[in-house]
Amino acid sequence: MTDTVTPTASGAAAAATPHLDDVAAAARTAFGATVASTAAERARWLTAAADALDAAGPELVPLADGETHLGATRLTGELARTTAQLRLFAAAIVEGSYLEATIDHPDATTIPPRPDLRRMLRPLGPVAVFGASNFPFAFSVAGGDTASALAAGCPVIVKGHPAHPRLSRRTAEIVAGALAAAGAPDGIFGHVEGHETGIALVRHPEIRAVGFTGSLHGGRALFDLAVSRPDPIPFYGELSAVNPVLITAAALDARADELASGLAASFTLGAGQFCTNPGVVFVPEGSGFAARVAAAVPSDAAVPMLTDGIASAFADGLGALAARPDVSVVAGDPVQQRGTGAPVVLSTTTTAVREEPSALLTECFGPSTLVVEYSDVDDALDAIRAVGGSLTATVHAQPGEELGDILAVLTEIAGRVLFAGWPTGVAVSWAQQHGGPWPATTSIHTSVGVTAMRRFLRPVAYQDAPDAALPAELRESNPLGIPRRVDGVLELP
């Protein structure tokens, strides 16, 4: 793709290919306004963007389907999720607890004596956001990274994904227009394209943080760029996960067919192109569970995948697994048709996993799952420890089963632990955690839910400041009525 930079910052006039420096400079200028803006103002901007995207749904959904093959039903729901999360952030910033406002009054009796200290979170500055291929709305131009950064008070420059360029450009135009009409400052939002432009964006001195959802290889390369800058910046990347599932013998005895159909529906959803796809499932040996899953796999023909590159990587990954002597193909054909994905079920043992975990526990991004047979729960947990970091980990057990050891291991490797259901589907809420140890993500933070704002904020403490000089959130009278911790006691409005 030819590198382009489109000036979709609010209020900017159309131009052909302005320099990235101009867009970054505009974002830096806008930061002077966003850092001084009120939560009510930013909430109005976010709500305006949500309203505009909802109104444009009849235009945007067919455009997205034409570039992604994800289907109108899926994309309509994803657009609704996108606008809902914009509104959730709008409500959260007005509520105010995300700021962690904390006040310690002077106390001469402490050792050492304590001055007046007031602390809160403040926005970092302009943020770069890389759109994802597999969620053209919810993790793209107006997705969670953009919403959380704008809510925090950070201008955003989005690097559009080449898998859906026309959708990205049109979404950016709609968001920019809505922000401008709502009174947001010029330069608060920009959209750029192209591989080299993306690299330059991470390196640009005006950028203070980066949000990324994509491949392990691409994310690691950008992460290394971000931390090797003369002034290293945080890189919040969601990269790779196999999302292990452990099914106990009691659970299989009670509901084997239900579990098999649930797994089949989960790993084939959206042609398996979900970051929470259950890629490896541990079951008791001799249970015949893999055959049950194979029987439950939809018999639909291969479906187009998001890009030829994703389809090619999926086929290569399947080929490498199927060629191993310690892996069996239970259902489907590991030789995939060009540009498409068809369901495949494979099986192996915990012995094989322990001998070469890097080969067997690698994300295969597409409609496949690897069923691993274990001798007992301790054997399964020993193999699961080799999985490394994942976004999710799931246990299916029966009421009354002892889960202490299982919970300890799953909590160690994953950011979200499920006790029922399947990991595909990530609710957007205050309590959500979408992130996990490396290689799932590059940080401890979430990219979904209200706490996603924490990535683009930094703590600042004010010592012995005159009340009039303080941000409104820290003034003695609490004029905004937000939750605060005062002298160690949480005070609610």
pLDDT at 18: 54
Query: Which of these, 419, 455, 410, 414, lies nearest to 435 by C-alpha position?
Result: 414
pLDDT band per the 50, 70, 90 thresholds, residue 298: confident
Cα dihedral angle (384, 387, 391, 394), rounded to 10 degrees? Answer: -20
pLDDT at 302: 85
φ, ψ for residue 247, nearest 5 deg? -115, 125
Residue pointed to by tokens 């990274």: 145
pLDDT of 211 over the 70 cut? yes
Pairing of strands 457-463, 117-123: antiparallel
Cis status of the peptide bond prior to 439, with omega within 30 of 0: yes
pLDDT at 11: 36
What's the CA gap between 482 and 451, in Å, rounded? 17
pLDDT of 126 over the 90 cut? yes
Domains, the chain, ordered by start: 4-239+442-457 (3.40.605.10), 245-418 (3.40.309.10)
- Name the token pair of 428: 């957007």
pLDDT at 301: 72
Cβ neighbourhood burial of 35 (10 Å; 0-12, 13-18, 19+): middle
User: Does 275 participate in catalysis according to the annotation?
Assistant: yes
pLDDT of 8 over the 80 cut? no
- Mean pLDDT of the region 167-183: 98
pLDDT at 53: 98
pLDDT digits (tens, 9 = 90+) for 448-485: 999 999 999 999 999 999 999 999 999 999 999 999 99
- The residue annotated as part of the active site, out of 41, 78, 154, 275, is 275
- Mean pLDDT of the region 428-433: 97
Q: Where are the alpha helices (DSSP H) in 341-424?
A: 350-355, 357-360, 377-384, 404-413
- The residue annotated as part of the active site, out of 67, 78, 238, 373, is 238
What's the CA gap between 208 and 1, in Å, rounded? 26
- Name the token pair of 414: 């994953």
User: Does 238 participate in catalysis according to the annotation?
Assistant: yes
Amino acid occupying residue 369: T
What's the CA gap between 24 and 28, in Å, rounded? 6
pLDDT band per the 50, 70, 90 thresholds, residue 339: confident
- Mean pLDDT of the region 103-108: 98
Mean pLDDT taken over the chain: 94
What's the CA gap between 190 and 84, in Å, rounded? 22
pLDDT at 464: 98
- Mean pLDDT of the region 129-141: 96
Pairing of strands 340-341, 328-331: unpaired
pLDDT of 115 over the 70 cut? yes
pTM to 2 decimal places: 0.93
pLDDT digits (tens, 9 = 90+) for 389-425: 999 999 999 999 999 999 999 999 999 999 989 999 8
Cα–Cα distances in angstroms (integers) from residue 281 to residues 242, 263, 291, 337, 364, in the given order? 9, 9, 13, 25, 14
pLDDT at 100: 98
- Mean pLDDT of the region 290-294: 96
pLDDT of 13 over the 70 cut? no
